[in-house]
């Protein structure tokens, strides 16, 4: 008999919510900040479903001092009677069983964001404790749980003058590496929901800080695109808006163009953000491209030798919302980031095609502005293609095509090599001398690179430093980006720890976010952390990366020690740069992560866009949170 015989006794059966606690990432995406906030959103989505069903008009979210959160609505309340299939109260059934809810049969909810039916039970499973309170039939009921298991029976605890559900829970520190809700992250999602469900009143209270805000937008998604464009010059105001129902699908669209160059697309299904798009986005883009081309031809704005306008031309400067409400969406995964229903493409394409054509016909001034911008984008795209051909890397082995300033490494396997993008020729020289030539490549850049948030692609590709970065990496950019063609597995930004260095780092990150986002999404971009001080005694030395570390080093080595303050990377000799910032065994790298693409877009528009005031407000608000900055 084999030593490790495979038999029935080796098959584990996880009952109830045990599977959720064993594999939480399968249900909420991660055990980090994103998964933590996903818990809260699942509970909020249930309350939003009540609003979509016409039973709720307000939702109140409270962040408590002990790390717990409450979601309270004035909906119909979870039914309390004994469930015929489980023999337990419906409240307990919903909170302890996967795929138990009122969203499968189609009777209780016509549309719902929580269609997988695992939402609130997963929250219960991943919470240290949870308390559910239901107001229904003139009575108030309560039941408590610990890590998904009931600790009390469902009890009637008093009278109730209203109806609704109140859920309070504390995320389990045994599951989540972070258990503090971020006010700004929660605020953004609640504000978004208030735009998507016109007239719904949502309040957010943070008992930790005393902050309280209320969101209510009668204009719905029209106000959402206006808010997204509030710091930009727009081409059509008020925005285009249409809402139609076709084959049981409610399609709502808002479009407003601005003078910028970046597309800002927001898509939702039953108020759930579909950050990866899906068939509704495909249908929208197809209709938009066709309608603008047809209008431009019929009006003689697009001459015969030119065109047709490509989709990217038509979407330059576009800010749009596509919001669907439908009975049975097919999402990819529990996190619901992409819509797969193929029939939706034709429905959205038909609605947008008809309504946006009518809009262009009846708004000739705005229509001509939109077409003129698309034609300019087309001409810039053609110029960019010529420029792109100059920087496209033909082969990984054709070193002659690489930038002259690049000091490449000997390693040809991308998985074993890394590229340092270094601020300044002086620091670049030290880095070239101090590096490990076997696997570390150095690309010095001079001065502040172009702000791509304010520049078209053709201008960007004519910028020497950006061309050097694109050529060195070998991946291409934008739609032509191919991660598999990268020449290095790590891209490390190494700039001075001062204001200018932070600015250069932000410019570089703006470029990567706009044109090589997959590098960030796959965790390939890092920020190096150089020291601020060198503390020397007669026999020992210590590097300090902050004022606190400086104080500790002086205490350890003695106050009489010599202190050298580094104003920039160029003040370090090759040996110092290696041992503090480049040696894999001793260096500190911060990986750049993209948890919320929508929020990242907003921040880059704020920091690097044309308008000064929103940038000033952002800096004032977050100045106290800055780390690793030497002024």
Low-confidence ranges of the chain (pLDDT < 70): 1-16, 99-118, 333-336, 386-401, 595-631
Q: Which residue has the tokens 């809402």?
A: 243
Sheet holding 541-544, edge to edge: 541-544, 533-536, 562-565
Distance spanning both ends of the chain, measured CA to CA: 71
H-type alpha helices, 268-342: 279-298, 311-314
Output the six-digit token pair for 469. Answer: 């970065």
Beta-strand pair 211-215/139-146: unpaired
Q: Which residue has the tokens 């309340």?
A: 77
Three-state secondary structure along 363-410?
CHHHHHHHHHHHHHHHHHHHHHHHHHHHHCCCCCCCHHHCCCCCECCC
Running DSSP on this structure, what letter comes out for residue 327?
A: S
Query: 3-state DSSP call for residue 316?
Result: coil
CB-count burial class (<10 Å; 0-12, 13-18, 19+) for 512: buried
Sequence-distant (6+) residues with CB within 8 A of 232 are 258, 259, 260, 609, 610, 611
Output the six-digit token pair for 369. Answer: 């502005």
Phi, psi of 490 (to 5 degrees): -120, 135
The continuous run of DSSP H or E covering 26 comes out as helix 25-28
Beta-strand pair 318-325/562-565: unpaired
Distance CA 421, CA 407 (A): 11
pLDDT at 29: 79
pLDDT at 379: 86
pLDDT at 533: 92
Longest dimension (CA), the chain: 84
Count Cα atoms within 13 angstroms, Cβ side, for 606: 18
Q: Residues 480, 482, 488, 494: what is their CA dihedral angle, to the nearest 10 degrees?
A: 50
Distance CA 163, CA 136 (A): 5
Sequence-distant (6+) residues with CB within 8 A of 11 are none
DSSP string, 552-603: HHHHHH-TTSEEEE-SSGGGS-HHHHIIIII-TTT--EEE---S-HHHHHHH
Sequence-distant (6+) residues with CB within 8 A of 30 are none
Query: Nearest Cα to 209, choosing from 230, 236, 184?
Result: 184
Q: Which residue has the tokens 């504000």?
A: 191
CA 126 to chain centre: 23
Distance CA 476, CA 380 (A): 18
Active site residues: 423, 496, 498, 500
Output the six-digit token pair for 517. Answer: 């986002």
Residues 406-447: pLDDT tens digits? 999 999 999 999 999 999 888 899 999 999 999 999 999 987
Instruction: Tell me how crowded residue 322 is: count the other CB atoms within 10 A of its CB.
Output: 26
pTM over 0.75? The answer is no
Burial 80-104 (b: 16+ CB within 10 A, else e): beebeeeebbbbbbbbbbbebbbbe
Query: 3-state DSSP call for residue 65?
Result: coil
Query: 3-state DSSP call for residue 449?
Result: coil
Output the six-digit token pair for 243. Answer: 């809402």
């Amino acid at each position: 008999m084999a030593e490790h015989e495979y038999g029935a006794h080796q098959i584990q059966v996880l009952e109830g919510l045990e599977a959720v606690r064993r594999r939480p990432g399968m249900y909420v995406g991660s055990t980090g900040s994103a998964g933590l906030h996903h818990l809260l959103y699942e509970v909020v989505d249930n309350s939003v479903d009540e609003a979509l069903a016409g039973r709720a008009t307000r939702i109140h979210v409270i962040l408590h001092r002990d790390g717990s959160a409450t979601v309270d609505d004035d909906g119909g309340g979870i039914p309390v009677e004994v469930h015929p299939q489980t023999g337990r109260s419906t409240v307990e059934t919903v909170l302890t069983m996967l795929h138990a809810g009122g969203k499968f049969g189609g009777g209780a909810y016509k549309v719902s964001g929580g269609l997988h039916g695992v939402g609130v039970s997963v929250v219960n499973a991943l919470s240290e404790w949870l308390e559910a309170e239901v107001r229904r039939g003139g009575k108030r009921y309560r039941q408590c749980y610990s890590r998904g298991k009931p600790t009390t029976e469902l009890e009637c605890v008093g009278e109730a003058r209203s109806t609704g559900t109140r859920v309070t829970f504390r995320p389990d520190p045994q599951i989540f590496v972070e258990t503090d809700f971020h006010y700004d992250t929660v605020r953004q999602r609640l504000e978004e929901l208030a735009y998507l469900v016109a007239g719904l009143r949502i309040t957010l209270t943070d008992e930790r800080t005393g902050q309280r805000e209320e969101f209510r937008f009668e204009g719905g998604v029209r106000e959402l695109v206006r808010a997204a464009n509030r710091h930009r010059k727009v081409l059509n105001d008020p925005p285009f808006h249409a809402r139609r129902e076709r084959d049981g699908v409610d399609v709502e669209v808002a479009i407003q163009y601005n003078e910028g160059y970046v597309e800002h697309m927001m898509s939702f299904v039953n108020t759930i953000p579909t950050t990866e798009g899906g068939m509704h986005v495909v249908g929208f883009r197809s209709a938009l491209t066709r309608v603008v081309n047809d209008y431009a031809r019929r009006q003689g704005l697009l001459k015969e030798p030119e065109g047709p306008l490509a989709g990217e031309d038509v979407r330059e400067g576009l800010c749009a919302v596509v919001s669907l409400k439908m009975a049975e969406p097919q999402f990819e995964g529990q996190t619901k980031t992409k819509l797969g229903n193929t029939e939706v493409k034709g429905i959205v394409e038909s609605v947008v095609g008809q309504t946006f054509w009518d809009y262009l016909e009846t708004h000739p001034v705005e229509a001509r502005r939109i077409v003129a911008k698309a034609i300019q984008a087309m001409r810039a795209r053609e110029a960019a293609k010529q420029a792109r051909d100059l920087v496209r890397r033909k082969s990984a082995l054709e070193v002659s095509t690489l930038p002259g300033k690049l000091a490449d490494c000997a390693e040809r396997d991308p998985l074993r090599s890394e590229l340092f993008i270094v601020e300044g020729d002086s620091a670049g020289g030290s880095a070239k001398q101090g590096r490990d030539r076997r696997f570390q490549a150095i690309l010095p850049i001079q001065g502040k690179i172009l702000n791509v948030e304010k520049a078209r692609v053709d201008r960007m590709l004519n910028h020497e430093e950006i061309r050097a970065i694109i050529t060195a990496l070998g991946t291409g950019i934008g739609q032509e980006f191919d991660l598999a063609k990268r020449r290095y597995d790590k891209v490390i930004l190494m700039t001075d720890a001062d204001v200018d260095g932070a600015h250069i780092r932000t410019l570089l990150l703006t470029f990567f976010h706009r044109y090589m986002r997959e590098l960030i999404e796959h965790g390939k971009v890092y920020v190096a952390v150089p020291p601020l001080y060198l503390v020397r005694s007669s026999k020992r030395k210590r590097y300090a990366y902050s004022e606190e570390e400086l104080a500790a080093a002086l205490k350890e080595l003695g106050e009489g020690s010599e202190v050298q303050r580094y104003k920039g990377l160029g003040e370090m000799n090759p040996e110092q740069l290696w041992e503090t910032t480049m040696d894999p065994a001793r260096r500190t790298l911060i990986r750049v992560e993209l948890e919320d693409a929508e929020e990242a877009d907003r921040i880059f528009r704020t920091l690097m866009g044309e308008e000064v005031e929103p940038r000033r407000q952002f800096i004032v608000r977050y100045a106290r949170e800055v780390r690793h900055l030497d002024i």
